[in-house]
Amino acid sequence: MRLQILRTLYKTSKILGWKVASLCSQKVYGFVKSSLGICILLSLASCIPGDQMYTLHSITNPTAPESSLPRLFTDNTDKIFMSWVEKNGKETVLLYSSLKNDIWSKPEEISRSSDWFVNWADFPSVIAQDGKAISAHWLKKIPGNTYSYNVEVASAKSNWNDVVTPHTDNTATEHGFVSMVPHSDSTFLSIWLDGRNMETGHGGHDNYGDLNTAMTLRSAILTHDLDLLQEAEIDASVCECCGTSAVRVNDGFLVAFRNRTSEEIRDIYVSKLTSEGWSKPISVHNDNWYIAACPVNGPSLSALDEKVAVAWYTAANDTSKVLLSFSENSGNSFAEPIRVDTGLPLGRVDVQVLANGLTFVSWLERNPDDRSKAYFMVKLLSGTNQVIQEFKVAEISSSRSTGFPQITSSNNQLVLAWTELSEDESRQIKTAILK
């Protein structure tokens, strides 16, 4: 029995990075003789699904030169989809591909236009269900104001030809930072930031403290035929340019976003959609970040059964951090967050909870020797929040041109996508897998 426990300790130490020789010199054998020691060791070992460590492998991606803004999505069959944009003269082209056996399928074009609003933080997406893409979104400019645009949602059912605007306010204001997720076999949920109360457009961002002219968070449920079934307000005052994140949970759907109080505290909140409607938004954690501006750094959600992970960036008390918090009750409450960055984070986070109980979190971290560069960082955490592995996936430009790196999971493997900036300022998407 003792020999078996020591073997367990050895395997666990390999995964958690322990120095076995050092531990043994501290009379580990005596520790494992106790019942408490045996329980702790077995508990630690059970956090790790075997002793196989993750390694990074590049994937030949399907994108053309001057491609950017990848977005990843895993559907209910564990199939991974990636959407992105490419430039063709004055037109922006939205394409997507799916991954099978570590090979991306031939790109399929969804739509193209010369009057879309596309920037580094607010960009199109594609969602899928039952192994097929079902819906896409982009932002269409409203003539007359640089920062006035509508959300447009397209359906694969009509070969992307049918398009609808999910908000019905008809104001020449900002609408964007969309998150979409399948809602049922025939419907999907769309979440967006809605500036219908910001009559002065982007300039309305200067009305700090005036919540009557604040950005709002709204939602709609749409059918695959693009019938609008329900539109609702989730929160009447949110941060103007921080992305949203939405996931399905056991008892409904959860959305995370950056809230905005009259005192200009901009912390991360969540709200849940059930049969009774949207719940009152609650704070994930009281960072108390006072900032009279938008940091353009939204949260990321991931959920599996009742477990929910949320990652976010904050600079409360003039200290930049990337934080990660977990809920074990479908997002009704969250534990005290843990810090995952290494000291110089830019944010731009993503998170994925795996079926094996592990969690991946990603963010950008500045290169301390060259602030124009940043590392695309990924950490793997155990079910007890122990860091198992850390990866510097790539060194990229820290500028806005590289956008928001993405991660998503399938079959306990992690797929990554990011944008690299070449010396001639051209952009190219790269993809890889951790398995």
Using the structure block, give the residue that is written with the tokens 């009509």.
158
The string of pLDDT tens digits covering residues 265-281 is: 999 999 999 999 999 99
pLDDT for 145 equals 81
Which pLDDT belongs to residue 144? 83
First to last CA, the chain: 32
CA distances from 310 to 5, 50, 325 (A): 35, 26, 6
The pLDDT score that the predictor gives to residue 33 is: 35
Q: How confident is the model at residue 210 (pLDDT cuts 50, 70, 90)?
A: low
| Segments making up each domain of the chain, as ranges | 2-46, 56-434
Q: What is the DSSP letter of 306?
A: T
The percentage of residues in the chain with a pLDDT greater than 90, rounded to a whole number, is: 81
**Is the pLDDT higher at 84 or at 208?**
84
Question: Mean pLDDT of all residues in the chain?
Answer: 88
Give this prediction's pTM: 0.87
Residue 34, both tokens: 């106790």
DSSP class of residue 333 equals S
* Nearest alpha carbon to residue 183 among 121, 235, 254: 254
In the 8-state DSSP scheme, what is residue 144? T
Long-range contacts of 325-331 (CB under 8 A, 24+ apart): 325/284, 325/285, 326/359, 326/385, 330/249, 330/250, 330/251, 330/252, 330/254, 330/272, 330/303, 330/306, 331/249, 331/254, 331/270, 331/272, 331/303
Strand partners, 99: 80, 104
Q: What is the CATH number of domain 56-434?
A: 2.120.10.10
